[in-house]
């Protein structure tokens, strides 16, 4: 009996081990960040008046004067075998600006999606995710500079739809997507859809991603943003390239360029920015990112960006010449001081436009430049 019993026990144990090896694994993680900052203008005023705000770069986030808060970010992710879900919640001014088209309880949802890793080569995602265009992202933990670029600020923030990611080889990847109009994250109010695509190349030393977006972003909306109105622009096309390479162990070079154009539709916006002759409008730009690590805990970097709007563009700069054109060159120098999981980011920024878009220090006129200092603290967990 012992001779029979022992092999049976061993067979049962091996079978149980094999079942455990084949069983899907479960994984649950919580991560996030908190960021605060202080910002001061050097050549303009630093407080909000009844009829005007203190001047700031015409970009997203980090624009309030004095001591200010960014956002608290909490990300919950769960994976079971080949499927999973991500819920990314944001609280605070930076989060509100990032999900500006959301209302009610949805205005804290930065990302919310489920995914299915079909196999080693294909993954499907359904829901709302942050944009694949541009060099920078919403979370300050992933950006070297705390303030953001013009191209990031006026490109998409988020998309809601269905996307498929493909691994083409060890170096190449691709993505295709069908989505709501950009930044309409809860549902589709316009009744139109946008196509997205990406081709990526990545190796240990660097990577490059060529991104595309095409579609009607507003359908026919009324003055309240509801479907069924008369105002509509045409389709938007955007092509965007991001790249980065390690020039050495300590020196990094990044690059981003984008071109965005929208054809004129059946009517024009109420702002009066668009040229009545019906020319296409949009913007383009380019930015270089240089970063140098002096030690494990300290790095310094700069972003130099040129941003140009044509025929009224996205209404970013607010003041235009007779053709609806305006441009700005911005240089941002930032330090990254790591203290454990806390990152201190001292920053100086100079924005120089070709139009008088900033209020001067005496508040009695306008000027073409704005110089500002910033100190941010970003904690990630």
Mean pLDDT of all residues belonging to the chain: 89
Query: Is pLDDT of 8 > 70?
Result: no
- Greater model confidence, 276 or 331: 331
- Rounded to whole angstroms, how far apart are CA atoms 239 and 208? 13
3-state SS assignment for residue 172? strand
Tokens 């600020």 belong to: 153
Condensed to tens digits (0 to 9), the pLDDT of residues 251-289 reads 999 999 999 999 876 444 454 444 445 689 999 999 999
Please work out, in degrees rounded to the nearest 5, the angle formed at the alpha carbon of residue 78 by the alpha carbons of 73 and 83.
130
Tell me if 59 sits within 8 A of 39, measured CB to CB: no
Condensed to tens digits (0 to 9), the pLDDT of residues 28-42 reads 999 999 999 999 999
Mean pLDDT over 163-182 rounds to 97
Mean pLDDT over 221-245 rounds to 73
Tokens 């609280």 belong to: 91
Tokens of 284: 């383009």
* Reported confidence tier of residue 18, pLDDT bands at 50, 70, 90: very low
Tokens of 36: 């605060």
Q: Which range is least confidently modeled, 226-230, 240-244, 315-319? A: 226-230
Closest CA to 233 of 261, 213, 259: 261
Q: Give how far the C-alpha of residue 26 lies from the chain's centroid of Cα atoms, to the nearest Å.
A: 29
Residues in the chain: 381
Q: How many CB atoms lie within 10 A of CB 97?
A: 18
Query: Is pLDDT of 205 > 50?
Result: yes
Structural domains in the chain, sorted by start: 26-380 (2.40.160.10)
């Amino acid at each position: 009996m012992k001779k029979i019993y022992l092999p049976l026990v061993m067979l049962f144990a091996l079978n149980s081990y094999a079942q455990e090896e084949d069983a899907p694994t479960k994984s649950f993680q919580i991560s996030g960040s908190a960021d605060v900052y202080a910002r001061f203008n050097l050549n303009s005023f630093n407080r909000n008046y009844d009829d005007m705000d203190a001047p700031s770069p015409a970009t997203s986030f980090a624009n309030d004067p004095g001591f200010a808060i960014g956002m608290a970010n909490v990300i919950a992710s769960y994976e079971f075998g080949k499927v999973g879900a991500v819920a990314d919640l944001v609280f605070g001014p930076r989060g509100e600006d990032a999900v500006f088209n959301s209302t009610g309880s949805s205005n804290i949802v930065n990302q919310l999606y489920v995914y299915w890793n079909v196999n080693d080569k294909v993954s499907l995602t359904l829901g709302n995710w942050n944009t694949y265009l541009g060099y920078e992202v919403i979370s300050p933990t992933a950006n070297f500079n705390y303030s953001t670029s013009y191209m990031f600020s006026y490109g998409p923030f988020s998309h809601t739809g269905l996307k498929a990611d493909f691994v083409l080889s060890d170096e190449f990847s691709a993505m295709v997507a069908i989505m709501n109009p950009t930044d309409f994250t809860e549902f589709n109010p316009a009744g139109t859809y946008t196509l997205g695509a990406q081709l990526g190349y990545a190796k240990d030393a660097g990577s490059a991603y060529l991104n595309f977006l095409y579609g009607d972003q507003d359908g026919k909306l009324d003055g309240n943003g509801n479907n069924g109105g008369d105002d509509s622009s045409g389709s938007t096309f955007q092509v965007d390239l991001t790249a980065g390479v390690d020039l050495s162990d300590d020196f990094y070079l990044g690059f981003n360029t984008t071109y965005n154009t929208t054809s004129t539709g059946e009517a024009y916006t109420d702002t009066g920015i668009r040229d009545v002759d019906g020319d296409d409008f949009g913007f383009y730009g380019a930015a270089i990112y240089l970063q140098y690590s002096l030690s494990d805990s300290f790095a310094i970097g700069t972003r130099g960006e040129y941003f140009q709007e044509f025929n009224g563009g996205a209404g970013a700069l607010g003041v235009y010449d007779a053709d609806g054109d305006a441009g700005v060159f911005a240089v941002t120098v930032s330090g990254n001081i790591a203290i454990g999981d806390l990152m201190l980011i001292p920053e100086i920024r100079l924005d120089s436009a070709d139009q008088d878009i900033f209020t001067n220090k005496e508040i009695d006129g306008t000027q073409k430049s704005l110089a500002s200092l910033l100190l941010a603290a970003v904690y990630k967990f």
